[in-house]
Structure 1
Amino acid sequence: MIENGQVTFQELVAAVRSQERIWVRIGAALKEKTWTVLAFDAVALAQPPDWEERTWKYPGVVFYAFVENGQNIADWLETGKVIFGNLEVALPDLPLDNPNATIQAYGLASRQSWDSYMPLTWPATSYTLPRSGGGSYVPTEMLIAEGAPSFLGFLDAATAFLGLATGVTGIISQLPSSSIRTQDRTGRISSVVIHPTKVEVHLEGETLSGLTLELAGQVPGPQVRLQDRARCQTVELPTPDGLGAQAWVVLKTAATCVDRKFLNWQYSSPDPGVEIIEEPVSMIEALVAAGEGPQIEFKRQAPETRDERKKVCRTLAAFANDHGGHLLFGVDDDGQIVGINTDHDGRTLKDTVTHWIADLIDPHLDFSLDILWHEHGLRVLHVEVQEGTSPPYGVDPANPHYYIRRGATTFPASADDVRTMVRTRLA
């Protein structure tokens, strides 16, 4: 859960003890004849990206990466000592005599950068330990040893071993605070695709059912309560007027944030995993701009009577008898987009239109239907007909009549036209 706050040192130890597996990376140096931890990164629940088990040993410096159970790491915190075989390494600055000392906790969204550590793939809580090493002590000697990579100093080695982010400079000026990060696999927003009229959100998690997905921002957006128990889900949040200012997507339960993604904040780029797509609106605009013609037809509204539907099917059949075409319901003859009345996703209207097209045209067309959103919440039903592979296509199977397209008008096909279609099919 993404929440900032404080816990006691005793509560942190208990939280660590409850973890089954923890991925640990440690950098230590010999300081005044005592081995002391200078860099400590522990991640629970899932393996961090780019983590690998390994050991680098240099004169007076060691780096270890290994998997340990929470019980042992909790013991290290309580004693202030890490044991590697015969090597005992001190964990300095821990409040061993004050179990009620406060430890700062920070809630992290999935793939959120924190300090210099590489982002994790799941939401997490990061507990910041007192800065290790009793201050700013860092060895500056060159690190060279058999079987280990060479570095100019401890900072360079720690950067490579812990996978620290260096920014544009390529270097870090000091070690990050030692941290313990516990991930939460309840749910995460794995990716977001921003379309002009909707936001498509991809979710993963072990307990998505019962959570709520919300599009938040300066203007409140839609919310969807998840009912499906599937571990991977896709949810579409409508934005008929486009994406509002300072928009973000939040996965939540009750009053708690499980995960979030910022989409269009004023002074920052979208969060990792956010993609912007502009194709749907450009498709409407391109078709309307082209105007009615041999392959494009506009209708103000969807037909309701059988005779009206037959007239529409004449155009659809004519498209199939030639090179295919597009029919837009919700557009006037002059190209003005007026929209259609339909349910939210247009499923009922699409099912109805699909049924009467299949009922009135023979043989069956190869066609598709989509609801395209335009600005101000206007919706257009787009019917795309592919060039037919079995012409001629007729309207009213009991007494079929055939049609062709000339310019922006549909005409009855002549006998010669029909014979040409048949020859084309048989060729």
Structure 2
Amino acid sequence: MVLPLSKDVSGKGVNVDQGSLNIKEVIDLLNGDAWVRLVASGAEGTWSLRHLHAVIGSQPPAWPDHDWIYGDIALLRAKLSIDRLKDALVAEDCRRFSVGSIEVEVPEVGPQVGWRRRPSFEQHDRERLQKPTWDLRVSAAQTSQHQLNRSGYLVGRSCPSFPDLQYAFRAFFEGDFSLNGGMSLPSELMVIRVINDEGWIGPIHVTPTHIDVQVDGRDLLGASLELYSTDQRTTTDLNSPNTVTFELPGGLPDTNVWLWLKKDGRWLDYRALYRPWATPDQLEAAGVKIDLPVDPLSTIEALVSGGEGPQVEFKRSLPETKSKDRNPYKTIAAFATMEGGWIVFGVDRDELTVVGLEVDDINGERDRLANLIRARVNPTPPFEATPYVIDGKQIMVLRVDSGVSPPYGIAVDPDAKDRPEYFVRRGASTYPAWPADLREAVMSRQPPAGFPNGMGGLGGAFPG
């Protein structure tokens, strides 16, 4: 739905983002169903509205499962017809509505309503509504009629308990049950969010070479999508929902990038892809997926400069096919038994410099190394060998993942796998494993939270 503000009710032209309306003008503009959450206080069966949050046009994502009632405090949710909400706003003798078995009285509201346009996925919007909105803020005619100063525990019979109303309010209205701090009731009596489905920017996928933007909406005839950055300004015309691709000839911009969905000289929606205060998690929550280019040189330089450790080992050369030397298989087995790691072939472990591999066929050497690992380590661990050229020097990076069938061992005799030996990694060295070491390694081998394949902060650093 759309609020027809084009009639210039603000007196400042149509291309404005905030203003005020008379309460009766607001009533005339609203239509559709309203999903309402509210907090009310009551005594002896009489309940008074203290705050109401309504979304008109779509059920909000943080919709609670059921009502919470704590004696004199009720946190309620209901889907109301817009007529019931209108009556509660302006009726002289019927400023009330029912939520289940509770009838809530609504204080008289003030004559003016503040409004503001907001984009989809707004950065500071905890609900992350996926469409643009008009936010209407309705105040009580007398502020004292809705203020609530209530302290003490909220202990429910069939609902969660809280040390204070502020914590309950945040959990009910935002779905945040943490106890790191409460949230005071808003100063307004009501916040009414009207969803605008005329047009909006959907998911965005940013790659090193282009940006894909999904645009949707019910009325995009004559609309256009603009990409704006410091060094690029491109506009694509739209007439219907579509996925728009903007090429990035200079690669991924390192400055702010804005996308504007506009029509008839006004914005329908916008999105800022880069902000100094936007973390990767915040961008992901805002529907933005960014594929950053992987720079093997920078990653290998970081590995080399960091030296050997529990998950990194260096070798000047690749193992010989007929050699009975059990290096580097001991380390490969230890990595697979524990948390995984890398062996970089072509690096001097003492000087911490890339010396390179003197081989004619680097891809053939990769296949030979893979066959040696399969023959010497039992069971075969999950691994991947990848050749790189750094400053004209060939190296081989062997990534060993934490295996699903520990422990992993190597045979005392390469020709007989029935007498395996097991190893663990301590610091930058590999040691024979005692039974207690293996028990501990197997029990504690679960990947750390947030890291792929249990590979710690280096997980996925190299392209596979």
Please classify the TM superposition score into its range, dividing by the shorter chain length: 0.5 to 0.7
Shift of 1:181: 0.3
Contact 1:138 1:154 in 2 (8 A): no
Structure-to-structure mapping, 1:90-129, within 5 angstroms: 90-92=105-107, 94-95=109-110, 101-113=111-123, 118-129=127-138
Contact 1:213 1:251 in 2 (8 A): yes
Shift of 1:174: 4.0
Contact 1:118 1:164 in 2 (8 A): no
Structure 1 residue 274 and structure 2 residue 288: aligned? yes
CA distance in 1, matches of 2:265, 2:108: 35
Which of the numbers 140, 158, 164 marks the counterpart of 1:153?
164
Aligned equivalent of 1:190: 202
> Quick one: which amino acid aligns to residue 251 of structure 1?
L
Shift of 1:135: 6.1
Which of the numbers 246, 249, 258 marks the counterpart of 1:240?
249
Structure-to-structure mapping, 1:62-101, within 5 angstroms: 62-79=74-91, 81-84=95-98, 87-92=102-107, 94-95=109-110, 101=111
Aligned equivalent of 1:8: 22
Shift of 1:114: 5.1
CA distance in 1, matches of 2:23, 2:48: 20
Aligned equivalent of 1:417: none
**Distance of aligned partners of 1:109 and 1:167 in 2 relative to their CA distance in 1, 3 Å threshold:** farther
Give CA-to-partner distance per residue, 1:296-326, whole Å, 9 cap, x none. Answer: xxxxxxxxxxxxxxxxxxxxxxxxxxxxxxx
Shift of 1:113: 5.0
Aligned equivalent of 2:57: 45
Shift of 1:87: 4.6
Give CA-to-partner distance per residue, 1:368-414, whole Å, 9 cap, x none. Answer: xxxxxxxxxxxxxxxxxxxxxxxxxxxxxxxxxxxxxxxxxxxxxxx
Contact 2:34 2:56 in 1 (8 A): yes
Which runs of at least 4 in structure 1 moved beyond 3 Å after TM superposition? 31-34, 85-88, 131-136, 164-170, 173-177, 217-220, 266-271, 278-282
Contact 1:138 1:155 in 2 (8 A): no
- Structure 1, 164-173 or 212-221: larger mean CA deviation: 164-173
Structure-to-structure mapping, 1:176-187, within 5 angstroms: 177=188, 178-187=190-199
Shift of 1:121: 1.7
CA distance in 2, matches of 1:278, 1:268: 16
CA distance in 2, matches of 1:15, 1:58: 36
Give CA-to-partner distance per residue, 1:113-155, whole Å, 9 cap, x none. Answer: 557x522121111111216763642321322232222222322
CA distance in 2, matches of 1:219, 1:94: 49
CA distance in 1, matches of 2:177, 2:67: 22
Where do 5+ consecutive residues of structure 1 fail to align?
96-100, 283-292, 296-427
- Structure 1, 172-181 or 153-162: larger mean CA deviation: 172-181
Which of the numbers 186, 210, 216 marks the counterpart of 1:204?
216
Shift of 1:278: 3.5
- Give 3-state SS (helix, strand or coil) of 1:143's partner: coil
Give CA-to-partner distance per residue, 1:305-352, whole Å, 9 cap, x none. Answer: xxxxxxxxxxxxxxxxxxxxxxxxxxxxxxxxxxxxxxxxxxxxxxxx
Contact 2:50 2:147 in 1 (8 A): no
- Give 3-state SS (helix, strand or coil) of 1:76's partner: helix
- Give 3-state SS (helix, strand or coil) of 1:122's partner: coil
Aligned equivalent of 1:144: 155
Aligned equivalent of 1:349: none
- Give 3-state SS (helix, strand or coil) of 2:160's partner: strand
Give CA-to-partner distance per residue, 1:154-181, whole Å, 9 cap, x none. Answer: 2222222212669994422444643000
Give CA-to-partner distance per residue, 1:177-226, whole Å, 9 cap, x none. Answer: 43000001222212222223322112222233432010024455100001
- Give 3-state SS (helix, strand or coil) of 1:110's partner: coil
**Distance of aligned partners of 1:133 and 1:255 in 2 relative to their CA distance in 1, 3 Å threshold:** farther
Structure-to-structure mapping, 1:302-381, within 5 angstroms: none
- TM-score normalised over the length of structure 1: 0.57
**Distance of aligned partners of 1:7 and 1:38 in 2 relative to their CA distance in 1, 3 Å threshold:** same
Contact 1:143 1:151 in 2 (8 A): yes
> Quick one: which amino acid aligns to residue 152 of structure 1?
P
- Give 3-state SS (helix, strand or coil) of 2:168's partner: helix
CA distance in 1, matches of 2:58, 2:101: 29
Shift of 1:267: 4.3
Contact 2:230 2:256 in 1 (8 A): yes
**Distance of aligned partners of 1:89 and 1:278 in 2 relative to their CA distance in 1, 3 Å threshold:** closer
Aligned equivalent of 1:383: none
Aligned equivalent of 1:61: 73
> Quick one: which amino acid aligns to residue 221 of structure 1?
R
